Structure 1
Amino acid sequence: MTETEFDVSDDVTAVVEDTQLPRRLKDRVYRTVEERDGVTVEQADEIAKAVETRYLDTRIDPLDPVGTVSAQSIGEPGTQLTMNTFHYAGVAEIDVTQGLPRLIELVDARKTPDTPTMSIFLEDEYATEREKAHEVVWKIEATKILALGDVSTNVADMRVVISLNEDTLAERMITPEEVAEIIEDHLGVQTVQQGATIEFGPEEPSYRDLLQLVEELRDITFKGIEEVSRVVIRREELDDGEEEFVLYTEGSAFGDVLSIEGVDASRTTCNNIHEIYRNLGVEAARETIIEETNNTLAEQGLDDVNVRHLMLVADIMTNRGEIESIGRHGISGSKQSVLARAAFEVTVNHLLNAAIHGEIDDLDGVTENVIVGKPIKLGTGDVDLRMGSTSR
């Protein structure tokens, strides 16, 4: 949206455009002037100047140590986070890692969270009709054989006998014939299916092979996504007072879920930042890091941490186009400064390798200057003042 789309005079446009405000704030000023009828040019100028003053006051001063301030702002509340890994997090039936363990997971950019989970939103009739929502549930939740019926072994005949529950089959929309076919494909055996009963056994009579078949049978996923062990369905209220069904999962397979009919891909998310990165890109991963760290702090009542500090962390982790951890295997380990790397972890190794390769430390950062006792090159430490003599 630009200023030309607002119904304001050329004089108002001139005074607003004369400020140092970014386009987004200028548009807000135009919108405010437009909503208030009878605003004069002088009043519009006062509004624009007031907004400009507030905007300039909030900008960071040159040479401000934003990284150190952000580390303090996140680290200090981090000491007050609980160590409880499993914590009530909005869905009583689903365990979600919270507190300090979750914060460590995020900044370490762990490939797989301790408790991967997805929040799946639905669209159209799937969001309002429980039966339709359950159709999506059965497409997502991994259905194992013990959910479909009972498994027993007939040692005398060396046979595995499966007694399927017809009501469960109807609910999960799978037939005995499909179950038998999946067993044959995965186990390579010949099955005999009669109604809701399926039998099969090893090629050669062997008690060990019989038990092995039972173990392998229990691992087969007959329907749904193997990584998702449970799905909980909840009715939640929207901002406009309407209600909709939302699914919460134990386990995560973000890419597979997005392609399922009835899933609202624009709102569905998961707590695995690497899955977000693979499916939606690095910008979405950055947003997820900000959102997850903010939620983790807010869950413990520490939501007064300015989001800009979290944004800086997310920017540092993703600014190279991929997700990097904040640690010796990521950002801290890739610093140019030898002393900064050594100050973080495995000090002797860093110093030894630097000595072997003849590395030079330019002492540009905070850590290395603190170590050698020099003023850091930030704030007043980066300003040189010289007194000049004037001849009269």
Structure 2
Amino acid sequence: MTNVDYAVDDDTIAVVEDTDLPRRLKDEVYETLEAREGATVEEANELAAAVETRYLNTRVDPLDPVGTVSAQSIGEPGTQLTMNTFHYAGVAEIDVTQGLPRLIELVDARKTPDTPMMTVYLEGEYATEREKAHEVVWNIEATQILALGDVSTNVADMRVQIALNEDTLEERMISAEEVAEIIEDSLGVKTIQQGSQIEFGPEEPSYRDLLQLVEELRDITFKGIEEVSRVVIRREELDNGNEEFVLYTEGSAFGDVLDIEGVDASRTTCNNIHEIHRNLGIEAAREAIIEETNNTLAEQGLDDVNVRHLMLVADMMSNRGEIESIGRHGISGSKESVLARAAFEVTVNHLLNAAIHGEVDDLDGVTENVIVGKPIKLGTGDVDLRMGSTSSGSSQAD
């Protein structure tokens, strides 16, 4: 019987329970019937039969080589991908790797994408008021000294002089006193601050030390996140017709952004699957792999690849609780079969190591059986037929 009490009669329950549907789909049928108040047993039977037919038609046949089919289904469209870096989602100011380079990044599980970026959604008044949205922008975008004012060196007095722009300070919500304090903490020097003017120098008069201080000063992040070099703000329309502000960043620091006030952590995402894994867990990383791969194909008009193939790849990359690449340093390099490992890359090394350690290949997979010329153990290759005899003496196939 059902796990939950639904407001349907016993005859309807009997009709649904008599199908071969899994519990999840049976519960969805019950919920649909509840929504259709007054549904008859005949209607329930028709709905359950339609769902069952659709379910049985979408199941994979036993011994179907799903891995090979997935590789073919992703690899063939992959040959149509371009090698370019595209402007992201119509944001002319931000370039993001797309096409084949992006697909390779994903399956190789690169630690850092070539063009890391985040899509930051806002909540409440931060999403609707431009000034509040800009508060979040300045808390994310790295603010360095050249954005706040002009830096010059007084060689005669061995001093570094900073002329801050008061309008910029007000816009980015940082004071001259805070700038001076950050310089003291970061460089270990004593500053003299008067209004928007800041001055400091090396302890001992030295031209080399003076230039070194200027170089170190330019690397200090006075506000925002060091990894995020730029933020673009756009007004976008929602499905319900309303509009909201969305931020697109160059560079990513996913965990830091989620802690900023005004950021909607439930929708914000980034294109670095390892950052998603660290902050949200392996299930979220799996979803990100599927989503990013699907989007990469869709960008090039190849969105007819069945998502189940992408899901299988994502499952293989994440089923051990860590993100593994599909390559000799990941899944292909850790296969049980010696011949399968050798067929992928560095053939001699794999065969030599296997010989030294006395490894045995059970020939269970596709690759190794193709190499030795045996039928693969999938499809009809894994079905054994033998002739048997009936009690009356006539023979039959088991």
Q: Deviations over 1:157-179 (max 9, x none)?
A: 11111000000001111111110
Whichever residue aligns with residue 115 of structure 1, its letter is T
Q: Which runs of 5+ in 2 are unaligned?
A: 394-398
Partner Cα distance (2:29, 2:3) in 1: 10
| Structure 1 residue aligned with 2:85 | 85
1:145-164 pair list within 5 angstroms: 145-164=145-164
For the 8 Å contact 2:87–2:94, the answer to whether it is kept is: no
| Structure 1 residue aligned with 2:385 | 385
Q: Which moved more, 1:93-102 or 1:41-50?
A: 41-50
| Structure 1 residue aligned with 2:58 | 58
Whichever residue aligns with residue 54 of structure 1, its letter is R
1:224-243 pair list within 5 angstroms: 224-243=224-243
Partner Cα distance (2:298, 2:24) in 1: 28
1:125-144 pair list within 5 angstroms: 125-144=125-144
Whichever residue aligns with residue 220 of structure 1, its letter is I
Partner Cα distance (2:287, 2:88) in 1: 23
For the 8 Å contact 1:89–1:95, the answer to whether it is kept is: no
1:147-226 pair list within 5 angstroms: 147-226=147-226
| Structure 2 residue aligned with 1:254 | 254
| Structure 2 residue aligned with 1:114 | 114
Matched, 1:296 2:293: no
| Structure 1 residue aligned with 2:309 | 309
Deviation at 1:5, TM superposition (A): 5.3
Whichever residue aligns with residue 369 of structure 1, its letter is N
Whichever residue aligns with residue 70 of structure 2, its letter is S
Cα RMSD for the two superposed structures: 1.3
* Number of aligned residues: 391
For the 8 Å contact 1:3–1:13, the answer to whether it is kept is: no
SS of alignment partner, residue 351 of structure 2: helix
Q: Deviations over 1:275-296 (max 9, x none)?
A: 0000010000000000000000
SS of alignment partner, residue 161 of structure 1: strand
Whichever residue aligns with residue 249 of structure 2, its letter is T
Deviation at 1:305, TM superposition (A): 0.2
| Structure 1 residue aligned with 2:272 | 272
Q: Deviations over 1:314-353 (max 9, x none)?
A: 0000000111110000000000000100111111111111
Q: Which runs of 5+ in 1 are unaligned?
A: none
Deviation at 1:88, TM superposition (A): 3.9
For the 8 Å contact 2:87–2:93, the answer to whether it is kept is: no
1:315-334 pair list within 5 angstroms: 315-334=315-334
Q: Which moved more, 1:24-33 or 1:246-255?
A: 24-33
Q: Percent of counterpart pairs with the same letter?
A: 87
Whichever residue aligns with residue 175 of structure 1, its letter is S
Whichever residue aligns with residue 346 of structure 1, its letter is V
| Structure 1 residue aligned with 2:26 | 26
Give TM-score, length-normalised by structure 2: 0.96
Deviation at 1:54, TM superposition (A): 1.7
Q: Which moved more, 1:363-372 or 1:11-20?
A: 11-20
Whichever residue aligns with residue 46 of structure 1, its letter is E
Q: Deviations over 1:191-241 (max 9, x none)?
A: 111110001111111111111111100000000000000011111111111
SS of alignment partner, residue 374 of structure 1: coil
Partner Cα distance (1:384, 1:60) in 2: 21
Give TM-score, length-normalised by structure 1: 0.97
SS of alignment partner, residue 95 of structure 1: strand
SS of alignment partner, residue 387 of structure 2: coil
Whichever residue aligns with residue 81 of structure 1, its letter is L
